[in-house]
C-alpha cells in the first residue's frame, strides 16, 4: 500500500485507522455491488478490480452501454436493472453508488435498510434534509459509510494538512479555492432523449451543478485544514457562457465565513482554464498549494551576503543607465520558488487508497474516523452555497443540520 | 612548431595572482557578511561563489595584463622602428 509504504501517512492522522488491520484481512474478500457504473462508476471499478480483497459481484444500471463496458471490467458480476433487486442479493456485502445526485437519497437509505455497507459518490444527496437523514440513518445502521472525498487519501493533501496542523505556517488567515475549466461539461449522446440521463449534471432536477460536482471536494479541504465549519455563506452564480441547454451555473463565486472571521472563497468559471484548480491555504507564516504540491514561506531566507554584494554592485553600476531598467539580479535573488510537499509526485489522487480503505472497512466492519462527517459537511456546505446563490442571500448554517463535529454541536429541534 | 616554455617563476607568479584573487573574494565575503548581517557559516557555504569569483577576477586581471603587454609591445616596436629610421638617416 503506497501511502504507508512511502511513510507519508503519519500516525497522528485519523485516516490511519482505515488501514490498521490491513494484515489481518489478507485472504478476506469484500463483495461489492456497483450501482451506476457510468463513467465515474467505471473509473472507480478500475481500481476495485485491481484489489485482491475485492470482488465485484453485481452491477446495476438502466443504460445498457454503461453495463456493457462495466462487464468488461467485471465479467463475472451479476447484472440488475433495478437497484432494489441488487440490494436483495445476499452475496453483496457493500454497494458503491455512482448514480446522478438526485438518486442518491433513496438508494443510500434502501441500502442501509438492506444491511449493506455504503460507498456513495459525492455529493451525498440533493438537499440538506436528505443529507442529514442519510447521516442519521448511517449512525443507527451499524454499517460502514464512505463518501467519495478522495482528497482525504491523497498523500499531498495529507502532508499539507499535517503541516498546517503542526503550526509551522502559523494561523490560517484565509482559503482561496477555485476550479476553472474551459468546456461545457457536456458529453456526446447517441440520441437527444438520452441527454438528460447522460448529461444529468447540467439539469437542475438532477444536480446542483458546479457546487455539488466540483466545489464539494474543495470545501471539504477547508473543514479539514481549519478544523472548523463555516457559519455563513454568500455568493452569486450565473450562466454566462455555455448557454445552450444548460440549467446549472457555469460561473459561480461563494464566500464562506468562519466564526473567527476567516473566509474561504470558492470560484469556478467554466470558460477559462488558465488557473485550473487549486486550494490555497493562506497562513500567517506561509502558503500551501496542495494540488500543485508546494508550499511557500512568507519570510524568504536572504540570499548569501556575497550574492547580495554582487547584486548591489551590479545595481550601482547599471541601474542608472537608461537602457538597463530594473536589474533582474535582485529579483532573482528574492524570488520565492517555494518547496515541494513531497519528493516525488504521487501517482494517484487518493481514489485508489480511498477504495482500498473502503474494502478494508467492509471486511472489518469498522468505520474509519471522520470520513462520514467530512463527507457530510462537504455536501452540506456545497448545498448551502448553492442555496445562497439561488436566493441571493447570506445564509447561516442551519442549527437543525449541525452534527457533533468540530465547532458544531447537534441541536435537537 | 615552437615549444612554449613556462618557467617556474611564471607558474609561481600566476599562483600568487590566483591566491590574491581568492583572498580578495574571501575578504569581500567576510565584509559582506558583516555588512548584510547574515550568518557566519557563509564563510564556508559561500566558498563555491568565492571560487567562481576568483576565476572571474583572475580572468579579468589576465585580460588587463595581456592588454598592457600588447600596448607595451606596440609602443616598443614603434620606438625601435623610429630608432632604425634615425640610424639610416645618420
Q: How sure is the predictor about A321, in pLDDT bands with cuts at 50, 70 and 90?
A: low
Contact A172, A226 (CB under 8 A): yes
Q: Do A304 and B42 touch (CB under 8 A)?
A: yes
**How distant is the alpha carbon of residue A238 from its chain centre?**
23
Q: How many CA atoms lie within 13 A of A55 on its CB side?
A: 12
CA–CA dist A122, A200 (Å, integer)? 15
Contact A400, A233 (CB under 8 A): no
Mean pLDDT of A276-289: 96
What are phi and psi for residue A109, nearest 5 degrees?
-60, -45
Q: Do A306 and B35 touch (CB under 8 A)?
A: no
CA–CA dist A128, A269 (Å, integer)? 25
Per-residue confidence (pLDDT) for residue B4, from 0 to 100: 83
Give the H/E segment covering residue A10: none
Per-residue confidence (pLDDT) for residue B77, from 0 to 100: 85
B35 touches chain A (CB under 8 A): yes
A209: left (phi over 0), alpha (psi -120 to 50) or beta: left
Contact A266, A254 (CB under 8 A): yes
What are phi and psi for residue A95, nearest 5 degrees?
-120, 145
Q: For residue range A190-204, list pLDDT tens digits in order.
A: 999 999 999 999 999
Q: What is the residue whose three cell numbers read 496542495?
A: A290
Interface test with A, best of B24, B32, B35 (most A CBs within 10 A): B32
In this prediction the pTM is 0.79
Mean pLDDT of B58-73: 93
Please report, rounded to a whole number, the percentage of residues in chain A having pLDDT higher than 90.
80
Residues of A with CB under 8 A from a CB of B: 302, 304-310
Least confident of A213-227, A299-313, A319-333, A372-386: A319-333
A-chain residues near B45 (CB < 8 A): 304
Q: What is the DSSP string of A185-238?
A: -----SSGGGHHHHSGGG-TTT--THIIIIIHHHHHHHHHHHSS--SEEEEEEE
ipTM of the complex: 0.80
Cβ burial of A195 (10 Å; 0-12, 13-18, 19+) is: middle
Long-range contacts (CB closer than 8 Å, 24 or more residues apart) made by A321-325: none
Contact A111, A89 (CB under 8 A): no
B-chain residues near A305 (CB < 8 A): 29, 32-33, 35-36, 38, 42, 46
Whether the pLDDT of residue A20 is over 90: the answer is no
Q: What is the residue whose three cell numbers read 443510500?
A: A108
Instruction: Render the burial of A244-255: b for 16+ CB within 10 Å, e for the rest.
Output: eebebbbbbbbb
Structural domains of chain A in order of their starting residue, each with its CATH number: 2-152+349-367 (3.40.50.720), 155-299+338-345+373-401 (3.30.360.10), 305-334 (no CATH)
Q: Do A305 and B53 touch (CB under 8 A)?
A: no
Per-residue confidence (pLDDT) for residue A330, from 0 to 100: 44
Per-residue confidence (pLDDT) for residue A53, from 0 to 100: 96
Q: What is the mean pLDDT of chain A?
A: 91
B-chain residues near A306 (CB < 8 A): 25, 28-29, 32-33, 42, 46, 49-50, 53
C-alpha grid cell, residue A271: 470558460
DSSP state of A176: E
Q: How sure is the predictor about A11, in pLDDT bands with cuts at 50, 70 and 90?
A: very low
Per-residue confidence (pLDDT) for residue A263, from 0 to 100: 98
For A134-184, strand residue ranges (E) read 145-147, 172-179
What are phi and psi for residue A128, nearest 5 degrees?
-60, -40
Mean pLDDT of B59-68: 94
B-chain residues near A329 (CB < 8 A): none
Q: Do A306 and B50 touch (CB under 8 A)?
A: yes
The domain ranges of chain B are 8-89
Residues in chain A: 413
A293: left (phi over 0), alpha (psi -120 to 50) or beta: left
Q: Do B28 and A308 touch (CB under 8 A)?
A: no
Amino acid at each position: 500500500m503506497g501511502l504507508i509504504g512511502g511513510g507519508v501517512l503519519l500516525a497522528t492522522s485519523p485516516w490511519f485507522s482505515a488501514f490498521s488491520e490491513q494484515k489481518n484481512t489478507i485472504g478476506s474478500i469484500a463483495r461489492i455491488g456497483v450501482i451506476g457504473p457510468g463513467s465515474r462508476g467505471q473509473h472507480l471499478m478500475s481500481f476495485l478490480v485491481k484489489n485482491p480483497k475485492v470482488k465485484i459481484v453485481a452491477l446495476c444500471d438502466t443504460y445498457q452501454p454503461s453495463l456493457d463496458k462495466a462487464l468488461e471490467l467485471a465479467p463475472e458480476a451479476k447484472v440488475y436493472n433495478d437497484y432494489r433487486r441488487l440490494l436483495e442479493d445476499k452475496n453483496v456485502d457493500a454497494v458503491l453508488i455512482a448514480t446522478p445526485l438526485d438518486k442518491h437519497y433513496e438508494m443510500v437509505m434502501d441500502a442501509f435498510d438492506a444491511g449493506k455497507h455504503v460507498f456513495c459518490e459525492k455529493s451525498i444527496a440533493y438537499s440538506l434534509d436528505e443529507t442529514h437523514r442519510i447521516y442519521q440513518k448511517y449512525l443507527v445502521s451499524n454499517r460502514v459509510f464512505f463518501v467519495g472525498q478522495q482528497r482525504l487519501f491523497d498523500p499531498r493533501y495529507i502532508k499539507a494538512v499535517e503541516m498546517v496542523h503542526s503550526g509551522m505556517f502559523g494561523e490560517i488567515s484565509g482559503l482561496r479555492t477555485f476550479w476553472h475549466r474551459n468546456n461545457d461539461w457536456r458529453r456526446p449522446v447517441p440520441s437527444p432523449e438520452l441527454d438528460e440521463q447522460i448529461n444529468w449534471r447540467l439539469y437542475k432536477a438532477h444536480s446542483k451543478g458546479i457546487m455539488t460536482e466540483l466545489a464539494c471536494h474543495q470545501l471539504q479541504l477547508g473543514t479539514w485544514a481549519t478544523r472548523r465549519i463555516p457559519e455563513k455563506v454568500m455568493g452569486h452564480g450565473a450562466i454566462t457562457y455555455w448557454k445552450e441547454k444548460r440549467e446549472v451555473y457555469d460561473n459561480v463565486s461563494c464566500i464562506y465565513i468562519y466564526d473567527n472571521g476567516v473566509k474561504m472563497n470558492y470560484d469556478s468559471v467554466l470558460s477559462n482554464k488558465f488557473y485550473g484548480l487549486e486550494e490555497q491555504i493562506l497562513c500567517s507564516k506561509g502558503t500551501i498549494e496542495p494540488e500543485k504540491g508546494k508550499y511557500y514561506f512568507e519570510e524568504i531566507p536572504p540570499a548569501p551576503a556575497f550574492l547580495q554584494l554582487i547584486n548591489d554592485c551590479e545595481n550601482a553600476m547599471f541601474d542608472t543607465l537608461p537602457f538597463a531598467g530594473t536589474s533582474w539580479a535582485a529579483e532573482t535573488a528574492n524570488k520565492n520558488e517555494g518547496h515541494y510537499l513531497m519528493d516525488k509526485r504521487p501517482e494517484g489522487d487518493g481514489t485508489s487508497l480511498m477504495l482500498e480503505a473502503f474494502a478494508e472497512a467492509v471486511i472489518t466492519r469498522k468505520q474509519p474516523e471522520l470520513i462520514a462527517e467530512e463527507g457530510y459537511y462537504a455536501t452540506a456546505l456545497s448545498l448551502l452555497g448553492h442555496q445562497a446563490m439561488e436566493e441571493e442571500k447570506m445564509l447561516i448554517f442551519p442549527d437543525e443540520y449541525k452534527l457533533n463535529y468540530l465547532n458544531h454541536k447537534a441541536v435537537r429541534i | 612548431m615552437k615549444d612554449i616554455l613556462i618557467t617556474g617563476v611564471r607558474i609561481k607568479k600566476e599562483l600568487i595572482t590566483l591566491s590574491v584573487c581568492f583572498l580578495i573574494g574571501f575578504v569581500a565575503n567576510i565584509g559582506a557578511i558583516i555588512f548584510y548581517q547574515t550568518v557566519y557559516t557563509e564563510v564556508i557555504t559561500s566558498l563555491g561563489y568565492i571560487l567562481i569569483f576568483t576565476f572571474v577576477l583572475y580572468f579579468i586581471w589576465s585580460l588587463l595584463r595581456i592588454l598592457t603587454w600588447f600596448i607595451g609591445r606596440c609602443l616598443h616596436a614603434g620606438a625601435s622602428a623610429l630608432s632604425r629610421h634615425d640610424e639610416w638617416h645618420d
